[in-house]
Structure 1
Amino acid sequence: MPLGRSLSDQWRAYRAGAMTRKRAAELEGLGIVWDTADAGFEPSLGAAQAYYELHGTPAAPRQATALDQAVRQWLTNIRRPCGLGKHPIDGDS
């Protein structure tokens, strides 16, 4: 089976809750990332913090970068409803 198809099958099994913790841990040990938004959160937050410390505001212009990362688009995305994930946090709507 081609690697891409196999990984897609594994991702679907993980999302469906049909994967054992052991298999998930083995795949994670190989560098598999189940949620790219979660994986990118810390570096993006660090970039936003660096931008804020430098400029004193989180209101970044369109082309703004910090720590070699685009800041404006990430800030725009997290301001949207459900911007940090697929479901709103309890109490948020």
Structure 2
Amino acid sequence: MTTLIDKSTRLAVQGITGKAASLHTRIMLQYGTQVVAGVRPGAAGRRVEDVPVFDTIADAVKDTGVTASVLFVPAYAIREAAFEALDADIKLLVIM
């Protein structure tokens, strides 16, 4: 079986300012996940659980070297968020 996520995975959380996303970000950090960026349009410059927030996933990739993303976005926005991540050359998406 292939391991998709390991200690070298640099994770972004799309929708990080939401209630569920911020809770799961805290839990992932407690378990040692390298959460290196959050994404929320209009929230650049904020920090959630001490994770920097970017307006776009492309900005997060450029500044932090994101290699995977977990998406906590509303159903109506999931398609756009997923394609934005794929366009930023992220190969692994986890859609919650």
* TM > 0.5: no
Judging by fraction of residues, say which structure has more helix: 1
Judging by fraction of residues, say which structure has more strand: 2
TM-score w.r.t. the length of structure 2 is 0.28
Greater RCO (CA < 8 Å, at least 6 residues apart): 2
TM-score w.r.t. the length of structure 1 is 0.29
